[in-house]
Amino acid sequence: MTTYLLTGARPLGGDPTDMLIADGVVAAMGADARRGGADARTGGADVVVDAAGLVLLPGLVDLHTHLREPGREDAETVESGTRAAALGGFTAVHAMANTTPTQDTAGVVEQVWRLGRDAGWCDVHPVGAVTVGLAGERLAELSAMARSAAAVRVFSDDGKCVHDPVVMRRALEYVKAFDGVVAQHAQEPRLTEGAQMHEGVISAELGLTGWPAVAEEAIVARDVLLAEHVGSRLHVLHLSTAGSVEIVRWAKARGIDVTAEVTPHHLMLTDDLVRGYDPRFKVNPPLRTAADVEAVREGLADGTIDTVGTDHAPHAREDKDCEWGAAAFGMTGLETALSVVQATMVDTGRLTWADVARVMSTAPARIGRVAGHGRPVAVGEPANLTLVDPAARRVVVPEEQATASVNSPFAGRELPGRVVATFLRGRATVLDGAPVERGVHV
């Protein structure tokens, strides 16, 4: 296995240091990193990576990725989506269950898990559907998925809300048996029938049917109470309103076992973008107001919101290149997530890089019960690592990304930061900002 010497990397909160990566782990740090070999420059390592000025993070973990395979390989495959993930600095992603067929049996989750393992870009943890076919009626085979080779721990009907309170209660009760978590897409369906964007001043102006904040908040409030009642773990996906932040803050203060996620796009973008009717800005939950953006930033900064999840939702051109009303909901995000977090939270002084490690690696790994990821950057730990150049800037060009779809809301924007290298158990998946095919020695 190729060995790497990272020179002068900045670990979180520490002084620049050297690091030797060998046999899948962080083998040595500091002066010890060069002691292994006679050559003082390389310390005996096969490849030297000049990491001066770069920030060294634990490999990023995404709890919310749509990989679209099986069923919509025209929009994304496990291979293209996980290559995009590696380029975005991720070493593990959770693949959402709204595939065709649905990831609601042990067979389908094992298929996705195997595709991920064979692609080799990052670890793929399939999310199991809560209900059969995401129909919200009958619980899926949660236990069979948990016991399968894919060892599912996160269950979600994402894209659809588990709206029946009895079904939600049973799911919360059921997952306790294998330390699972129900990740809810909080959207009261009756309050959002025909909804096209956030309900507010701009939806009134444009004459588009609105998606009111209360449709999210009513489900978040109900679910934290259900989680408390049955003593189970709840994760709120893509939380987007100031009211949802308040409810989660209240629930945590009360000791309820709830965690919450915000997406990069809800940290940066607002509903006034809909004025141009460009379907790249059509997403579920919808882009909200500037006051909501401020509230989710504050919630992420004060720990009310635990994680940033990409909700990477690639769509084929024909599903997005059409009029607003007919376009699919969703945005790509794996290759821009870290840059958006840097722009909105780090460069504004609201999070340190150590906080970024917490919200994009440690916390999602803990919530998803992912072993070997989200660990401290220390000798003996699995070398799941991301090297970031915070001084770089780049303009987002979706056609140049690894994802098979081009529906990025950040197209044409200049964003800070660049993932220079990603290591998965000591193997470089990205070097010099470019993907490294498996087995190719550089």
For ligand NCD, the closer of residues 123 and 157 by Cβ is: 157
By CB under 6 A, the residues from 226 to 265 that bind ligand NCD are none
Q: Check binding of 309 to ligand NCD (CB under 6 A).
A: no
Q: Check binding of 280 to ligand NCD (CB under 6 A).
A: no
What x-and-dash track marks residues 129-168 binding ligand NCD by CB under 6 A?
-----------------------------xx---------
Tell me if 229 is assigned to a ligand binding site: no
Q: Where are the alpha helices (DSSP H) in 88-134?
A: 106-119
Select which of 123, 223, 292, 311 is catalytic: 311
Q: How far is CA 173 from the centre of its chain?
A: 25
Tell me if 185 is assigned to a ligand binding site: yes
Per the annotation, the verdict on 432 as an active-site residue is no
Q: How far apart are CA 436 and CA 413, in angstroms?
A: 26
Q: Check binding of 385 to ligand NCD (CB under 6 A).
A: no
Q: Check binding of 185 to ligand NCD (CB under 6 A).
A: yes
Tell me if 257 is assigned to a ligand binding site: no
Query: Smallest distance, Å, CB 143 to ligand NCD?
Result: 25
Q: Check binding of 330 to ligand NCD (CB under 6 A).
A: yes
Q: Is 207 left (phi over 0), alpha (psi -120 to 50) or beta?
A: left
Contact yes or no for 159/102 (Cβ under 8 A): no
Q: How far apart are CA 310 and CA 34, in angstroms?
A: 37
Question: What would the DSSP string read from start to end of 354-374?
Answer: HHHHIIIIIHHHHHTT-TTSS
C-beta pairs of 17-20 under 8 Å, 24+ apart in sequence = 18/43, 19/51, 19/56, 20/45
Which is it for the CA torsion 240, 243, 245, 247, positive or negative? negative
CA dihedral 263, 60, 259, 98 (to 10 degrees): 60
Tell me if 330 is assigned to a ligand binding site: yes
Count interface residues toward ligand NCD (CB under 6 A): 11
Q: Contact with ligand NCD (CB under 6 A): which of 86, 145, 283, 365?
A: 283
Identify the helix (H) or strand (E) that includes residue 386. strand 385-395
Query: Smallest distance, Å, CB 260 to ligand NCD?
Result: 15
What x-and-dash track marks residues 95-114 binding ligand NCD by CB under 6 A?
---x----------------
Annotated binding-site residues for Zn(2+) read 64, 66, 158, 185, 238, 311
Residues that bind ligand NCD (CB under 6 A): 66, 98, 158-159, 185, 283-284, 311, 313, 329-330
Query: Which residues are part of the catalytic machinery?
Result: 311
